Amino acid sequence: MKKVAFYTLGCKVNQYETNAMIEKFIKEKYEIVNFEDLSDIYIINTCTVTNMSDKKSRQIIRRVKQINPKSILVVTGCYAQVASDELEKIQEIDLIVGNTEKNKIVQIIENYLDNLNNNCTANRISMTDINDQKEFVDFGTTTYTEKTRAVIKVQDGCNNFCTYCIIPYAKGRVRSRNLQNIIEEIKSIVKKGIQEVVITGIHIASYGVDFADTNIGLIDLLEEINKIEGLKRIRLGSLEPNIITEEFVERLKELDKICHHFHLSLQSGCNSILKRMNRKYTTEDFEKVVERLRKAYPDVALTTDIIVGFPGETDEDFDITYNFLKKIKFYKMHIFKYSQRKGTRAAIMPNQIDGKIKEERSHKLIMLSDNNEKNFLDKYINKDVEVLFEQKENEYIKGHTSNYMVVKVKGNKLENKIITVKIANREGLELEGKLMK
């Protein structure tokens, strides 16, 4: 039995696609092993969102032949899609597979090995132009997951072309998945005992915009998912603010399984920077979205992404962002220092920001984020919350509330159970609770 090992970098879409590829190998009687173990085949599912992502991908690639020099090394994912010519120069790589070819990866690898065994020429690259892909590439029903929650991919691609982002070139245009296929996959997952699903994609707010003959959108999909018996929680991936209309929220709050945690992609709190980023909203628009969600869900947790040091960001621009974020009081903020990404418009913009300035701005926002998170968590001390427990860590078992707070308790055999817990205290950025008797 041949052994296969995976290493996944990047987003939840990559996580889902790795799980889908693993399931295909299992069906063909391959054994899945840990990446650090001796394996016949190693598959690296790469990310290319920043230059640092590319660098990390290359570091992982170099490690493989050190583990097993005789192994077959396959590189796929977004870095492979946009930089196949660059990766082709790395001799350690045996096979480069494009994003739209992932669902055929078992066959591609077996054909490659057959050619090698028969002393035939074996092509190192299996890839098509992502812009030619007009339909969603469906992996079929994927039930493999390593966690108590399952990631469900509902769409691919992005039409926005933000000036800092390479992803539309790596993933192509928006392509939505058939609604019924999504429902069938979730039903299959629920039968395995999974209680929470995470709805993900490259740009899930665009779900359905490519359907020519229907008016189905993300909210319609969520209403159908909410009907699935046995499913307890629906968690949403990153959302564009523009989708959070009054109508959207009115329909959303009727769905009892929606988790009260929303990750809203902001990127900057300064309108002039948002315009240069080619974002499609203003801070005024964003603030209205926040008001809608907080009115609908009193316990809502809002998280976001912020880029500091975007080309041309002055001290005044940053101060505007800082004050806006201080006003909004996100539960948590993911802070990224702008990184020039070859192939994007922002990479050639004038007034690139010095690294030390980026570091200072990043540190200031991380401090604000940590303070916000502590204040948010402290409000729950002595309160009862429902926790979906996920993993054991030493004497504790940890899980998440519906609004994404991390809670730990002392106990055993609680994995994949939703249990009411009384919060006793906060330790750092985690809450410690006690099981209700």
Bridge partners for 422 per DSSP: 384, 434
- 432 near 382, Cβ under 8 Å? no
60 within a domain of the structure (yes/no): yes
225 within a domain of the structure (yes/no): no
66 within a domain of the structure (yes/no): yes
Rounded Cα–Cα distance for residues 208 and 220 (Å): 9
Rounded Cα–Cα distance for residues 27 and 15 (Å): 19
At a CB cut-off of 8 Å and minimum separation 6, what does 149 contact? 194, 195, 196, 197, 198, 233, 235, 388, 390
Half-sphere exposure of 122 (CA within 13 A, CB side): 18
CB-count exposure of residue 89 (10 Å: 0-12, 13-18, 19+): exposed
CB-count exposure of residue 305 (10 Å: 0-12, 13-18, 19+): middle
Question: What are the DSSP E strand ranges found in 193-296?
Answer: 196-201, 233-236, 261-267
- 137 near 150, Cβ under 8 Å? no
Sign of the four-CA dihedral 176, 179, 184, 186: positive
Domain boundary among 78, 100, 128: 128
Domain boundary among 98, 128, 158: 128
- Domain CATH code at residue 32: 3.40.50.12160
Kindly report whether the global pTM for this prediction surpasses the value 0.85. yes
Domain boundary among 128, 160, 195: 128
Rounded Cα–Cα distance for residues 424 and 413 (Å): 21
Domains in the chain, number: 2
- Domain CATH code at residue 390: 2.40.50.140
Sign of the four-CA dihedral 82, 88, 94, 95: positive
Bridge partners for 153 per DSSP: 200
State which H helix or E strand residue 359 sits in.
helix 355-378
Rounded Cα–Cα distance for residues 143 and 162 (Å): 33
Residue 274: what residue type? L
State which H helix or E strand residue 409 sits in.
strand 406-410
Per-residue pLDDT of the chain (437 residues; tens, 9 = 90+): 899 999 999 999 999 999 999 999 999 999 999 999 999 999 999 999 988 889 999 999 999 999 999 999 999 999 999 999 999 999 999 999 999 999 999 999 999 999 888 877 778 999 999 989 999 999 999 999 878 899 999 999 999 999 999 999 999 999 999 999 999 999 999 999 999 999 999 999 999 999 988 889 999 999 999 999 999 999 999 999 999 999 999 999 999 999 999 999 999 999 999 999 999 999 999 999 999 999 999 999 999 999 999 999 999 999 999 999 999 999 999 999 999 998 999 999 999 999 999 999 999 999 999 999 999 999 999 999 999 999 998 899 999 999 999 999 998 889 999 999 999 999 999 999 999 76
For the chain, what's the residue count? 437
247 within a domain of the structure (yes/no): no
| Domain span holding position 400 | 384-435
C-beta atoms surrounding 214 within 10 Å: 10
